[in-house]
Chain A
Amino acid sequence: MNIIKSTESLHEILFLFLEVGLILGSLGVVILTNIVYSAFFLALVFVCISLLYLLLNADFVATAQILIYVGAINILIVFAVMLINKPQSFNFFPSWTTGDGITCAACTGLFFLLITTISDTSWSEIYLVTQSNNIVEQDLGGNIQRIGYLLLTEFLLPFELLSIILLVALIGAITVARREKILEIRVKSQALQAKEDFPTS
């Protein structure tokens, strides 16, 4: 009992740390004007979210979060920032227009609406209902084994469709990113041809 209590409090403390990291990191992503800093704050947010998944007993999703978000998406974003970004003037607080104020008010209103909804809902009753529905117990070992089993039996079609989507996204990204030069060459050759056709004009 004592051990359970201490792990509970440890969970609470870890959760508080993750909460602070998430709040500050997401604020940094939105508010900071230098976009490189916000990319690195985004990495901090992703790492905190994956630790949160670990606290919620979702090992596989935490690993996938680290691998895909921090390892792939964030690196991609930093790469795009390096390709695109021009050095800008360093003012840490951007100009605050009225549209920003209206959006901020709307978002805080939405946030408080969501919070009141969450605190009003009686989660214990829902928990009892779902527990009474779960009569059929299938013990398939750990978390990862169960996810693999479900992915290859019940969710087989979405899984395969997902691989097709990833392939299409890969090819589409390559095509979109390199199409410009071909178009330019074609337009130039057409212009040259038009000039040769009508040399007087």
Chain B
Amino acid sequence: MLEHALNLGAYLFCIGIFGLITSRNMVRALMCLELLFNAVNINLVTFSNYFDTEQLKGEIFSIFVIAIAAAEAAIGLAIVLAIHRNRGSTRIDQLDLLKW
């Protein structure tokens, strides 16, 4: 069960990285970022359940990660909205505002 959960976390992490690199839409990139956070959270909760049943520090850290992810999603979607209003598109490869 432990190794299954860890394998699941590794799978989610790899899928998230793949989507984050290859996606052309900014909103989809944010979704894949959420997948990455969830993979990390699965690992934290799994280790906390199997190795640290008395202290539960992994669960507390995963709560912190969830809160940071909520803040990150709000800021990221606000930036996407602003860029969409400015440039008229949300494609990542067309965002060259800071290039030169």
Q: Which residues of A come within 8 Å of B, CB atoms?
A: 11-12, 15, 19, 22-23, 26-27, 29-30, 35, 38-39, 42, 45-46, 49, 52-53, 56-58, 60-61, 64-65, 68-69, 72-73, 76-77, 79-81, 83-85, 99-100, 103-104, 107-108, 110-111, 114-115, 118-119, 123, 126-127, 130, 134, 136-138, 143, 146-147, 150-151, 155, 158, 162, 165-166, 168-170, 172-174, 176-177, 179-180
Tell me the B1-42 residues at the A interface (CB within 8 Å): 1-8, 10-19, 21-23, 25, 27-28, 30-32, 34-35, 38, 41-42
Contact of A127 among B17, B51, B70, B84 (CB under 8 A): B51
Please tell me if the beta carbons of A46 and B38 are within 8 angstroms of each other in the complex. Answer: yes
Closest A residue by C-beta to B68 = A165
Contact of A76 among B59, B63, B73 (CB under 8 A): B73
Please tell me if the beta carbons of B14 and A42 are within 8 angstroms of each other in the complex. Answer: no
Please tell me if the beta carbons of A61 and B62 are within 8 angstroms of each other in the complex. Answer: yes
Q: In the complex the two chains form, what is the Cα distance from A162 to B81 in whole Å?
A: 25
Residues of B with C-beta under 8 A to A179: 82
Closest A residue by C-beta to B26 = A84
Please tell me if the beta carbons of A38 and B10 are within 8 angstroms of each other in the complex. Answer: no
Q: B61-83 interface mask toward A, CB cutoff 8 Å, 1 = contact, 0 = none?
A: 01110111111111101111110
Please tell me if the beta carbons of A110 and B17 are within 8 angstroms of each other in the complex. Answer: yes
Please tell me if the beta carbons of B31 and A22 are within 8 angstroms of each other in the complex. Answer: no
Contact of A147 among B4, B19, B59 (CB under 8 A): B59
New A-B pairs, 8, CB < 8 Å, besides A49-B41, A52-B8, A73-B69: A29-B19, A72-B70, A134-B54, A137-B54, A143-B56, A143-B59, A147-B56, A166-B71
Tell me the B41-58 residues at the A interface (CB within 8 Å): 41-42, 45-46, 48-52, 54-57
Residues of A with C-beta under 8 A to B57: 150
Contact of B60 among A46, A100, A111, A150 (CB under 8 A): A150
